[in-house]
């Protein structure tokens, strides 16, 4: 980190006599006292536990300084910066650091696929630039400034994932980061409980333009009519992506369980991504558009995409010791995303049978029952031989599928019956079978994945 103690004080408008301490270089920043290293700046956040109570741990681990906003007396032997709110101070420091280091900022949001798109974009830009991306799911008002303050000194392109649960959250993140390029992967139903409708979700995702620079680029899906009225008065360049009538348009050549190959309109270059499904082609089209915006050659874009590293639990192929192929997609879920995964999975070549294990999709609001039931249209017994449903909301889908599937082909378990679910899935699967697991993270299907790997 290229910051000094005095710089941090001035950037955050610290109110105490901080200049009584000699200036010194800060080596980093952490809000978890256990991660503190020598001369780090400790940021005690107030949550379920007040971070100020861990100041001694931070000091013992080598903290060089700390923000402070507690009524409790600050340590006398540690340089502290008295601020009104420690989180706001970290955010202000991130704004200052961006201005100082001047990386190009790329912001990515969407109801699904934003992490995969972030990974693809980083892989493409890394072919030509020094890059840094959001680590894990650090995509909120804490994680985003933390990411900024952890980027390596030499970073030229900073790829930031922006997440949200409510309106105005992405607006805040966008104004903090002032992106040069912004992308929306898709408009689904995630957090519809808080935003009222898909139109409300579209409006919330468009908040990513709040801080987008005037001569910047916005990338949106060509097949999303809810976004079209919202882009009419934007001063920025707007590019679309998709499989039809898009600025960056793909033709899918081949889909296998471990890769997808496609071309883009106007080019003979063959692109391959190490993940299945047309929805992942959409994510790749965003990365291609961003690469071209920054004048990365198609050959370099091709090289970046072919072996990009996917963040764990995002469309991850695994295999049990007996040869059962497991498609784990258990980090999040909404109807649009689940339907896309099922459509892709239904066409995957296999020597055995296909099985789907589907759990509740959370935060869908009052129309949750109908949304779960609508997944019925993407399940066919000639393609997916057996279906295992898990959770209160999935009972609506179970009732509909009983008229389509035979009794032995459809299974339902309440949330408290996870052990029974695991036992049943294990009894269903045989070597050479293929199984997909999809649900919101809160359903804990990652535990089921772990058990299936033991078969």
Q: What DSSP string runs through 66-128?
A: EEE--SSPPPTTS-EEE-S-HHHHHHHHHHHHHHHH--EEEEEE-SS-HHHHHHHHHHHHTTT
| Longest Cα separation, the chain | 78
**Do the annotations mark residue 110 as ligand-binding?**
yes
50 DSSP assignment: B
248: left (phi over 0), alpha (psi -120 to 50) or beta: beta
**Do the annotations mark residue 19 as ligand-binding?**
no
Distance of alpha carbon 315 from alpha carbon 309, whole angstroms: 12
Q: Which helix (H) or strand (E) holds 291?
A: helix 278-293
**Which one, of 376, 357, 348, lies nearest residue 420 by Cα?**
357
**Do the annotations mark residue 336 as ligand-binding?**
no
Half-sphere exposure of 254 (CA within 13 A, CB side): 11
300 DSSP assignment: H
Token pair listed for 304: 């970046």
Question: Residues with Cβ < 8 Å from 43, sequence gap 6 or more?
Answer: 29, 30, 31, 51, 66, 67, 86, 87, 89, 90
**Do the annotations mark residue 114 as ligand-binding?**
yes
**Do the annotations mark residue 111 as ligand-binding?**
yes
Distance of alpha carbon 366 from alpha carbon 18, whole angstroms: 52
Beta strands at 260-264 and 271-273: parallel, antiparallel or unpaired: antiparallel
Q: Which residues are annotated as a binding site?
A: 110-116
- Binding-site residues for ATP: 110-116
């Amino acid at each position: 980190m290229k910051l000094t103690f005095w710089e941090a004080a001035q950037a955050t408008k610290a109110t105490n006599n901080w200049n009584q301490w000699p200036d010194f270089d800060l080596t980093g920043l952490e809000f978890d006292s256990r991660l503190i290293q020598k001369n780090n700046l400790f940021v005690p956040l107030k949550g379920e536990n007040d971070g100020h109570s861990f100041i001694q741990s931070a000091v013992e681990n080598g903290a060089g300084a700390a923000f402070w906003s507690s009524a409790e007396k600050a340590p006398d032997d540690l340089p502290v910066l008295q601020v009104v709110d420690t989180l706001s101070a970290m955010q202000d420091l991130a704004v200052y650091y961006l201005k100082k280091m001047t990386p190009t900022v790329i912001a990515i949001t969407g109801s699904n696929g934003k992490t995969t798109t972030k990974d693809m974009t980083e892989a493409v830009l890394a072919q030509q630039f020094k890059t840094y991306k959001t680590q894990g799911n650090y995509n909120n008002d804490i994680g985003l400034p933390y990411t900024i303050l952890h980027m390596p000194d030499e970073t030229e392109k900073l790829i930031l994932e922006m997440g949200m649960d409510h309106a105005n959250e992405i607006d805040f993140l966008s104004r903090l980061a002032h992106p040069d390029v912004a992308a929306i992967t898709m408009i689904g139903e995630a957090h519809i409980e808080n935003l009222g409708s898909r139109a409300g979700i579209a409006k919330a995702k468009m908040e990513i333009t709040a801080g987008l620079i005037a001569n910047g680029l916005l990338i949106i899906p060509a097949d999303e009519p809810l976004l079209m009225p919202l882009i009419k008065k934007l001063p920025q360049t707007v590019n679309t992506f998709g499989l039809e009538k898009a600025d960056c348009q793909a033709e899918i050549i081949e889909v296998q369980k471990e890769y997808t190959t496609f071309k883009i309109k106007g080019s003979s270059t063959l692109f391959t991504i190490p993940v299945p499904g047309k929805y992942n082609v959409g994510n790749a089209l965003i990365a291609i558009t961003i690469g071209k915006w920054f004048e990365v050659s198609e050959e370099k874009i091709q090289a970046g995409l072919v072996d990009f590293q996917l963040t764990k639990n995002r469309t991850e192929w695994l295999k049990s010791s007996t040869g059962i192929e497991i498609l784990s997609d258990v980090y999040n879920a909404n109807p649009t995303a689940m339907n896309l995964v099922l459509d892709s999975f239904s066409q995957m070549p296999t020597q055995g049978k296909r099985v789907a294990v589907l759990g509740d999709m959370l935060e869908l609001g009052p129309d949750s029952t109908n949304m779960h039931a609508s997944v019925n249209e993407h399940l066919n017994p000639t393609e997916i031989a057996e279906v295992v449903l898990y959770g209160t909301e999935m009972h609506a889908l179970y009732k509909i599928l009983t008229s389509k599937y035979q009794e032995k082909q459809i299974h339902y378990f309440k949330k408290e019956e996870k052990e029974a679910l695991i036992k049943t899935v294990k009894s269903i699967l045989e070597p050479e079978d293929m199984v997909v697991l999809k649900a919101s993270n809160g359903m804990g299907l990652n535990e089921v994945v772990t058990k299936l790997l033991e078969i």
